[in-house]
Amino acid sequence: MIKNGHHQQHPASAGTDPGSTPAAAACSPEKRRRKIRVWCDGCYDMVHYGHSNQLRQAKAMGDYLIVGVHTDSEIAKHKGPPVFTQEERYKMVRAIKWVDEVVEGAPYVTTLGTLDKYNCDFCVHGDDITLTVDGKDTYEEVKKSGRYRECKRTQGVSTTDLVGRMLLMTKAHHSNIDSSNYQQHTNFGKGSRVHKGHSPWTGVSQFLQTSQKIIQFASGQEPEPGDTIIYVAGAFDLFHIGHVDFLEAVHKLSDRPYVIVGLHFDQEVNRYKGKNYPIMNIHERTLSVLACRYVSEVVIGAPFSVTKDLLEHFKVDLVCHGKTQIYPAKDGSDPYAEPRREGILRTVDSGNSLTTDAIVQRIIKNRLLFEARNQKKEAKEIAVIQALKRQEEEKRTAESGKSTLIKQIKIIHSNGFSKQELLSFKPAVFDNLFMSMKIVLRGMGTLRINLANKTNQVHARSILSCSQCVGEDQELLPVVAHAFCALWSDHGVRTAAARGYEFELNDSAVYFFESLSRIISPNYIPSESDVLRVRVRTSGIMETQFKVQDYVFRLYDVGAQRSGRKKWLNCFDCIDAIVFVVALNGYDGTHTQEITKLQESLELFTSICNNGIFTNTSLILFMNKTDLFREKILNSGRHLKLYLPSFSGADCDVDAAANYITSMFSSLNTNPKKPVYYHYTTATDSDTMRVVFQMLSEQILMVNVAATRVQ
């Protein structure tokens, strides 16, 4: 039995902002603070508990929740035909208890204009992605402006999933969980017939039934003296507008209704409805009903017959049933015999004849259209996922320190950075700081480290839910700056950051955290040290010229991106030398990595070192990040032999470990006539890099002179 609160319809809650009522004006100073208005939007087709959970989380981020619902034509254009009509969807969303206002016909693409029109502070969406018909993110504009928050998607349910359940329904999923038909159902929407991969947003993942989720949905309010306790029972499967209209009609039977909904167990529903029901299991149906504003309490697994004991236990004043068929009990008796005898049974006409069967028929009638919709939606999502995966793969070799070396050359040989150039790195510093804090907070979950100060949970939620850390003026948002300071002062956050190598934390993260007070100051200008450490993704080919003595050097940064290698390999068949940068500290991996940074670098080095284009090109290895490598070898317990078992040196022998990794690269050179030079470097150390660059210049000049003599 789950209590869901006493949901009365007050004048101030029906589509008006409670902050503007006379009662609000008389509140305490704390209550008179400006109300935070939150915007959500979506299709909300076949409104389910996943939608309700998103709206519950969104409402918790503010005070007043406005929900925009798209029209049928907009949905058909971008996704395919909806199952529910727009009028049905409008009313279904209004019935969700966390919703304060519904905007009908909301635009499919969320813009700043929409947020401003409804005076909303920000919009909230789940951690999946919504795409337009041409594959663009519908929230791109509000994300860039910092007016976007993210909530966690409810695993195991989606509209696509529910359509799939109805297309592939089988009675076996209530009697034999291992049947092939059940497996076919759970695989629906994963695209196995079309794609090698599948979308985690469209595809079905197991829904974990937990008491915590029910507690989050329930309000827990007891009936009060004077309330009319009304009992209804049924399957309430695939909660739809017919159910909403019925419960609303029941709710209107009293000035002070307390509506209790009894939900039958899955096996009971399957007994009296037969065929392929229920489509949703008892836990899912419980959440769907609990989200309805007309419901006060839910009885999970209610007895099929409404007995005298049940009526007395809940002190029921009225039992209601719709104009639908009343199924007999197992013994053939009338399940409503007792309330009939007591004269408290009432048939309620909601004026809506829609049933779950009718919805299934809608799906079956348009089966091909809905199958095409599901496949089209997933195909777009898979394309996005594959792009994100490529970025993740490229990231492994993209953090070796090449860009830092280029910046050092500018500092050492080209008079450094002007004030304007330093300022241009400011947004990137903010973004590095922001993303690093997100990674630390998520890493705390991986490492099972809690916040030392529980009040910092609100700051953690702020960081994790934000998609941008800067406003339109490219300055750090005050709420983000405040959260940074509070979180970095938390012992739990510092402990997790110190173990960042266990969850792929940016190498410069702690440096920026330690510089927080300077970075968040109003007149902050990045220092050269900041510029050396800030991570800016390299794309394309970047040329840097510098002069040493009387010689002009041209250095080309080609990036490590796999997608760009074919473009640049053939462009440099007449260069004097290739400088290959390796992150020494990338020898270990995390639980999320299929391949380490070192393995990725070795593969790339092989493809370049032994490429026929570079037969006469010198190779110079920069074994970079020696400072971080030393720290990891000496203090982390992540000894080299744990990841490279063939290493026979002592656990804490830094030099032996570095030499071993270097030998792994040099051994890949199949041309004995082509020497491979190497230097151990710390790219962020300007003094040592000055010496290294001098040696590098001399080596290149020496090779160049030798080549000239041969000619």
**557, 631, 653, 685: which one is catalytic?**
557
404 is catalytic: yes
Helices (H), 233-366: 241-251, 266-273, 282-290, 308-314, 337-342, 356-365
Starting at the earlier edge strand, list the strands of the sheet with 577-583: 577-583, 618-624, 676-680
Q: Beta strand 618-624 with 318-321: parallel, antiparallel or unpaired?
A: unpaired
532 labeled part of a ligand binding site: yes
Burial class (CB in 10 A: 0-12, 13-18, 19+), 195: middle
Q: At what angle do helices 241-251 and 86-94 cross, to 10 degrees?
A: 40
Among candidate residues 561, 662, 681, 682, the one labeled active-site is: 561
508 marked ligand binding residue: yes
Pick from 467, 385, 498, 473: which is nearest to 135 by CA? 385
The total of other beta-carbon atoms located within 10 Å of residue 144's CB is 14
Domains, the chain: 36-157 (3.40.50.620), 211-343 (3.40.50.620), 426-525 (1.10.400.10), 542-710 (3.40.50.300)
Query: Taking a C-beta distance cutoff of 8 angstroms, is the pair 15, 101 a contact?
Result: yes
pLDDT along the chain (711 residues), means of 10: 51 36 36 79 89 92 95 87 92 96 95 94 83 76 83 63 52 38 32 40 41 69 93 94 96 97 94 85 90 94 95 96 93 96 96 86 68 60 56 53 81 85 92 93 89 92 82 84 95 94 87 95 93 77 67 66 56 73 83 68 86 81 91 90 92 94 92 85 86 78 56 43
For the chain, the straight-line distance linking the first and the last C-alpha, in angstroms and rounded, comes to 91
Whether residue 234 is annotated as binding a ligand: the answer is no
Q: Is 589 annotated as a binding residue?
A: no
Q: Can you give the pLDDT at residue 23?
A: 32
Residue 404 counted as an annotated binding residue: yes
298 pairs with which residues across the strands? 2, 261
- CB burial of residue 531 (10 Å; 0-12, 13-18, 19+): buried
Query: Does residue 399 have an active-site annotation?
Result: yes
Tracing tokens 């920026």 back to the chain, one arrives at 512
According to DSSP, residue 455 is labeled: G
Is 559 marked as a binding-site residue? yes
391 belongs to the catalytic site? no
Active-site annotation holder among 338, 399, 504, 530: 399
331 known member of a binding site: no
Counts of helices then strands in the chain (DSSP H, E): 31, 16
Catalytic residue of the set 286, 404, 617, 662: 404
pLDDT the model gives residue 570: 59
CA distance 372 to 570: 43
Count the alpha carbons within 13 Å of 674 in the hemisphere toward its beta carbon.
21
Please give the full DSSP string across 248-278, using - where no structure is assigned. Answer: HHHHTT-SSEEEEEEE--HHHHHHHH-TT--
Q: Which one, of 658, 656, 654, lies nearest residue 635 by Cα? A: 654
Rg (Cα) of the chain, in Å, rounded?
32
**537 carries a ligand binding annotation:** yes
Torsion of CA 368, 369, 372, 377, to 10 degrees: -150
- Length of the chain in terms of residues written: 711
The count of other CB atoms within 10 Å of the CB of residue 192 is 12
Q: Which of 591, 535, 513 is nearest to 399 (CA)?
A: 535
CB 465 within 8 A of CB 150: yes
Query: CA 197 → CA 136, 187, 200, distances in Å?
Result: 21, 12, 10
Q: Which pLDDT score is estimated for 33?
A: 60
Q: Can you give the pLDDT at residue 182?
A: 31
Given the residues 535, 588, 662, 682, select the one marked as catalytic.
Answer: 535
